[in-house]
Amino acid sequence: MKQLQLLTNANFNIMGKKFLFISISVVAMAASLAALVTRGLNWGVDFRGGTEVRVRFMKEPPTETIRKELEGLKLGDVNLQAIGKPEENELMIRVAQKEGEAAKQEGGLVGSGDVSQQVLKALSSERDRSEISSGKIDVNQASVGSLRDWLDTRLGAGKSDEAERAAEATIEARNARGGMFRSLEDLRGIASLSPEIQTALSEGTFVGDVAVRSMEYVGPSAGRDLVRKATWAVVLSNIGILIYIWIRFRFIWGIAGVIALVHDVVIALGGLALTQKEFSLPVVAALLTIVGYSINDTVVVFDRIRENLRLHRTKEYELVVNASINQTFSRTILTQLTVLICTAALYLYGGDRLDALSFTLLVGFISGAYSSIFVASPILVMHQRWWNERKRRKV
Amino acid sequence: MPLKWRWAIIAAVTLAALILCYPIQEKIKLGLDLKGGVHLVMRVKTDDAVKASTDLDLEVLRAELTKRGVTPETMEVTAPGRMHLKGVDSAKVSAFQDLASTQFSAYTASSHGGGEFDLAMKPARVREIRESSLRQALETIRSRIDKFGVSEQVIQQVGFAGGGDERILVQLPGIQNTERVKDLIGSPAYLEWKLVSIPPGLRPEELQSRCPTTQAQILSMFGGTLPADTELYPAEKQPTGGETVYWPCKKASPITGNDLRDSRRDIGRLGDAVVQFRLTADAGQRFEDLTRANEGQLLAILLDKKVISAPRINATIRDTGIIEGNFTIDSAEDLAIKLRSGALPAGMELLEERTVGPSLGSDSIRQGIVASVLGAALVIVFMLVYYRLAGINANLGLSLHILLLLALMGYFKATLTLPGIAGVALTIGMGVDANVLIFERIREELRLGKTVKAAVAGGFTKAFTTIVDSNVTTLIATLFLFGYGTGPVRGFAVTLCIGIIANLFAAIFFSRAIFDSLLTLRRPETLSI
C-alpha cells in the first residue's frame, strides 16, 4: 500500500529567499499598520461604551424611517446595520455614548436603560402604537412577568397560578419561533393554554412588528478598563512565552518567536481594520488564541532545528535550518489544514455572533503558518550570521 | 508500563468521563449569552459612604467643640474623608488638638497655623468603611435578588476590595426584564414617615384633595414662605408633561426604614395591591404616640425622598400598617422586597448591562454546534483519507479528546459560552496536531528503513518534546487569557485550556496504547499510516 503523501520529501530553498519572505511580511505589516492608522478599528460597544439593541422585524425593516426617527431623538451617534440572514429581518442599532453621558449616570442605576427604551419606542410602527393606546399588549415584547400580571388582572381572583403557567408557556412558544410570533394564529397553536386564556389573549393582545433579541449597555469607564486588561493580557502572555522559550531554547529564539507573534497579531488587526469587522471582547480572545497557536507552530519548527543542530554540528547553520523547515513542512501544512477546516466551518456556519471572532482566527492562523516558517526561522539565521561575523571580527 | 495497566487507566478515565458528563444538559452550565438572561456589572460608590461618615463625624466634632467652648469660624467637609477648620481661637488651639488626638483618633490633624486645621481620615479607617459598605451592598442586593427565585444566579464581588474600585457582578439566567431588575437592585430604598405640614386656614382633607401641587401653589398657600420646619418633597408619581408636583412635609422623620421588622405585599380593601409593614416594638410605641397625637392629620410615606402617598391618620396605629400608592402587583412586591432587605449604604454606578433573549441564545447554540460538528466531520474524513488505518487511531483519539473535554468542563463547573463553542471547534482542529506530529515522525522513521516497532517507538519519543514544548507555550497564552479575561473570554480560555490537556492524554497516552497493542497482537510487517 502506498502512502498518501504531501511534500514528504520537500526540499525548498527557503533560506535562500529569506529576504524575499521577510520583505513580504514587512509589506503586509506596513499595510496592516496603514489600515489601522487610516481606517482604525471598529470598536464594539464593549470598548467604546454605548448602547446596542438587536431587534427582529416582522417585515423588512424601514431603515430610513428608523434612522430619521432615532436621529430626531438626539440620543447620540446612531448606527444601523442589517445583521444575520436577510430573510430574518434583523437590525443592530448602535447608539454611541453621548458626551457628558458619564456625568448624567451619577444618579445611579436607573436611567441607564433610557436609551434602549427610547430606541424601542422609536421602532414601533404606527399600528403598534395605536394598538397599545387602545389598551392591548404586545405579545412580541411582553416578558413572562408582564404577561402574567396582565392575565392575572384579566382572569380575576384565584387564577394567579394559571396565569403564571400560561405566561411561561406563551413566552416559551415565542422563543421556539425564533423570538417572534408572526400572527395571533401562532398563539392558538399553544396546546397548554385553556380556552379562557386563549380568548383573553386573542381579545387583548396583538402581535407587534418588532421583537428584541438582545440589548447591551456598556458604561464609559468599563470600556477603558477592558482595553487596559486586553492589552495587558497580550503583552504578558508574550513575555511569558519569551521566558519559556528562553529557558527551553535560547534567548534569541524567544525573540524570534515573539517577533513572529507580533507579526501575526498585527496582521490580524490589519485584517479587522480593513474589513471594519467589529472589535469586541470575543475578538480579543481570538487574538490571544492566535498568540498561542502561532507560537505552537513556531516551537514545532524550533524543536526540529534544535534537534538537527545537535545531530549535525559541523553543517552550516543555514542549511540545518532549511532542512528542518522542510522536514516539518508536511506537518505544518496538515495541521494548518485541519485547523483551517474547523475555523472555516466556524466562519461560514457559526452565525453572525461568531463572525468577527472566526474571521480574526482565520487571518491569524494563515499568517501564523506563514510566520513560523518564513519569519521566525530566517530571523534565527540572520542573527547567527551577524553573530559569526562579530566573532570573526573579534578574533 | 505494561499494556494491561495502560488500558485499565484508559478504561477508568473513559468511564469516569462518561459518568462526569452524563446527562450532558445537567452537567454543563450554559453562559448567559447562550441561555439568555441579564448580566449587570455595577460599581459601588464607596466614596459616598466615606463622605457620609465624614459628614457625621463633622457634626459630632462640632457638638464636642461647642461643649468645650471652641467655635471655629468655618467647619466643612472638603472631600470624602477630609475636613477643614478655620478660625479656631488661638487660646483654644490646644483644647482642640487635645480633643482631635483623643476622641478623633481616626483622623490625622495637621495645622496650617493661624487656627487653620485639616483633618484627614486615616487610610485604615477609609478602607474599613469602603469594605463594610461593599459587604452591605452585596448583602442587600443578594437578599433583594433572592426574591426573584432564579436558580444559578451569580452575585459576586469583582475587582479589588478596599481600593475604591469595587464592583458587583449580577447574573440572572432566564430573566429578560432588565428594567425591573435594575430598579429592584439599584434603588437605595430609604423609607421615611413624615407629617405633612398643613397650611394655615386649611383642613387636612382639603390639602389632601388638592395635593400634590406645584411649588408656587404650595408657597402661596403658606403665604409666600414655608415654615422653618417644613420642606417640599416631590411626589413619586408626577403628572405627565406638567410641572413637578410636591408635598409640604415636616423635616423630621420620626419613623424610618430602620424601624421595620417585616414587610410584604398584600391586597388592600379595594382589591388593590398594597405593602403591609410591621414595626419593631420600640418603633411601634413611637408610632402609636405619633398617630394618637396627630389623628386627622396627614402622614406622608417617602421612599428615597419621594412621597409615595400621604394617607390621613384615621385611628391610632401601633405596629402594623399599610402603604398604599397605586401599586401593581409587581411594584408592590418590589417595594416590599426593598424594604425587607434594607437600604443600600452607597449609590451604585452601572458599568455594564447585557440582556440576551433566549431565542438568540438557542440560535447561537444551534449554529455553533453545526459548525463544530461539520468541522469535526471534515477533520475525521481528512485523517482517514490521509493516514488510512492510523487515521482511525487518530479519530478514536479525537473522540476521546472531545469526551474528556466535556467531562472536565462538567467537573470544573465551567460555563459554556458562545466563544467557548468556538473554542471547542478550534480544539477539534488543533487536537489532531499531536497525532500529526507523531504520525509524520513514524513515517520518517519508516522511510529510514526501521522496523514497524522501532518506527512507532521512535516516532513517539521524538515527537514527545515537541508536543510538550508547543502545548506549554499555548497554555501560557491561555492562562493569561483566563487571568485577564472577563465573561465570554474566560469561557473561551477555559475550553481551550481543558482542550489542550484532554488532547495530550488522547494523543500521547491513548494513541500509543493502541499502536502498542496492535504491534503486540498482530506483529505487522507494514503499517497503514
Mean pLDDT of B112-122: 89
A333 in contact with B, Cβ within 8 Å: no
Interface TM-score (ipTM) > 0.90 = no
What cell was used for B16?
469516569
Mean pLDDT of B199-210: 84
What is the spatial distance between Cα A283 and Cα B418, in angstroms, rounded to a whole number? 12
| Distance from C-alpha of B305 to C-alpha of B431, rounded to nearest angstrom | 61
Q: Are B394 and B512 in contact (CB under 8 A)?
A: no
Please give the Cα distance from B338 to B335 (Å, whole number): 5
- At residue B488, the pLDDT reads 65
pLDDT per position as a tens digit, A33-58: 999 999 999 988 888 888 899 999 98
Confidence of residue B513 (pLDDT cuts 50, 70, 90): very high
From A299-303, A379-383, B203-207, B291-295, the region with the lowest mean pLDDT? B203-207
* Cβ B235 vs Cβ B247: under 8 Å: yes
Please give the share of chain A, as a percent, with pLDDT higher than 90.
33
Whole-number Cα distances in Å, B490 to A230, A285, A374, B494: 12, 8, 32, 6
Predicted confidence at residue B450, as pLDDT, reads 92
Q: Please tell me what DSSP assigns to residue B242.
A: S
Q: Can you tell me the mean pLDDT for B35-64?
A: 86
**Is the Cβ pair A222, B41 closer than 8 Å?**
yes
Q: Is the confidence at residue A106, as pLDDT, over 50?
A: no
- Cell (9 digits) for B223: 403665604
Q: What percent of chain B has pLDDT over 90?
A: 21
Contact (CB, 8 A) for B171 and B188: no
Site of grid cell 410636591: B246
Q: Please report the pLDDT score of residue A246 as a whole number.
A: 92
Tens-place pLDDT, residues B221-253: 888 888 888 889 999 888 777 788 899 998 888
Give the CA angle between residues B444, B447, B453 to the nearest 5°: 80
Angle at B425 between CA B423 and CA B431, to 5 degrees: 90
Is the CB of B348 less than 8 angstroms away from the CB of A175?
no
Q: What is the pLDDT of residues B250-277, one digit of tens each?
A: 888 888 887 888 888 888 878 888 899 9
- pLDDT tens-digit map of A150-175: 888 788 767 878 888 888 899 888 98
pLDDT of A7: 60
Following DSSP, what letter does each residue of B65-129 receive, concatenated?
HHHTT---SEEEEEETTEEEEE---GGGHHHHHHHHHHTTTTEEEEEEETTEEEEEE-HHHHHHH
Tell me the pLDDT band of A113, cut-offs 50, 70 and 90: low
Q: Which of A217, A281, A327 sits opposite B487 (nearest CB)?
A: A281
Rounded distance, CA B402 to CA A323, Å? 35
Place of cell 397605586: B326
Average pLDDT in chain B: 86
pLDDT of residue A111: 44
- Compute the average pLDDT of residues B323-342: 83
Which chain A residues are closer than 8 Å to B443 by Cβ? Answer: 3, 5, 8
**Nearest CA-CA distance, residue B93 and chain A, Å:** 40
Distance in angstroms (rounded) separating the CA atoms of residues B372 and B428: 8
Task: Please report, rounded to a whole number, the percentage of residues in chain B having pLDDT higher than 70.
Answer: 98
Residue-wise pLDDT tens digits, B119-159:
999 999 998 888 888 888 888 888 888 867 777 788 888 86
Name the residue type at position B336: A
Please name the residues in contact with A78: beta carbons below 8 A apart, sequence gap of 6 or more.
A67, A70, A71, A93, A94, A95, A96
Chain A CB within 8 Å of residue B353 CB? yes
Q: How far apart are the first and last CA of chain A?
A: 57
Q: Tell me the chain A residues in contact with residue B477 when contact means C-beta distances shorter than 8 Å.
A: 237, 240-241, 288-289, 291-292, 295
Backbone angles phi, psi at B277, to 5 degrees: -130, 160
Contact state of B360 with A54 under an 8 Å Cβ cutoff: yes
Chain A neighbors of B488, CB-CB under 8 A: 281-282, 285
Q: Give the single-character DSSP code of B203.
A: -
Does residue A365 register a pLDDT over 80? yes
Predicted local distance difference test score (pLDDT) of residue B53: 85
Cell numbers standing for residue A35: 489600515
* pLDDT confidence of residue A301: 92
Q: So what's the pLDDT on residue B512?
A: 92
Residue B163 or B22, more confident: B22
Which residue spans within A42-77 are E strands per DSSP?
Answer: 42-43, 50-57
Q: Are strands A137-138 and A205-206 parallel, antiparallel or unpaired?
A: parallel
Give the chain B residue nearest A117 (alpha carbons): B179
CA angle B74–B76–B79, rounded 5-degree value: 150
Cβ–Cβ contact B328 with A under 8 A: yes
**Residue B318 pLDDT > 90, yes or no?**
no
Per the rule left: phi > 0, alpha: psi between -120 and 50, beta: everything else, B241 is left
Question: What value does the mean pLDDT take over residues B466-486?
Answer: 82
Winning range, highest mean pLDDT, from A17-31, A68-82, A150-164: A17-31
Q: Which three cell numbers stand for residue A134?
A: 387602545
Q: Spell B54-86 as b/e; 16+ CB within 10 A means b.
A: beebbeebeeebeeeebebeebebeebbbbbbe
Q: Which residue has the higher pLDDT, B525 or A356?
A: A356
Phi-psi label, residue A300: left if phi above 0, alpha if psi -120 to 50, beta otherwise: alpha
Q: Is the pLDDT of residue B481 over 70?
A: yes
Model confidence band, residue A107 (pLDDT cutoffs 50, 70, 90): very low
Any B CB within 8 A of A147 CB? no
Average pLDDT value for residue range B149-171: 76
The burial of B463, by beta-carbon neighbours within 10 Å (0-12 exposed, 13-18 middle, 19 or more buried), is given as buried
Look at A113 and B41 and tell me if their CB atoms are within 8 Å: no
d(CA B475, CA A244): 11
- Burial track B107-128 (b if 16+ CB lie within 10 A, e otherwise): bebeeeeebbbebbbeeebbbb
What is the pLDDT at residue B503? Answer: 85
Over residues A197-256, the pLDDT tens digits come to: 888 888 889 998 899 899 988 887 767 777 788 788 888 888 999 999 999 999 999 999
CA distance A220 to chain B (A): 7
**Which residue in chain B has the smallest CA separation from A306?**
B466
pLDDT for res A343: 92
C-alpha cell at B403: 469526551
pLDDT in tens, B347-399: 788 888 889 988 888 888 899 999 999 999 999 999 999 998 889 999 999 99
pTM for the predicted model, two decimal places = 0.80
Q: Do A346 and B471 touch (CB under 8 A)?
A: no
Cα distance between residue A216 and residue B122, in whole Å: 40
β-strand partners of A52: A94, A216
* CB proximity list for A142: less than 8 A, separation 6 or greater: A150, A170, A171, A205
Q: Which of residues 6-35 of B touch A (CB under 8 A)?
A: 33
Strands B29-30 and B415-416: parallel
Mean pLDDT of chain A: 86
**Is B52 an interface residue toward A (CB < 8 Å)?**
no
Nearest to A219 among B178, B350, B528 (CB): B350
User: Which residue in chain B has the smallest CA separation from A180?
Assistant: B359
- Return the higher-pLDDT residue of A2 and B459: B459
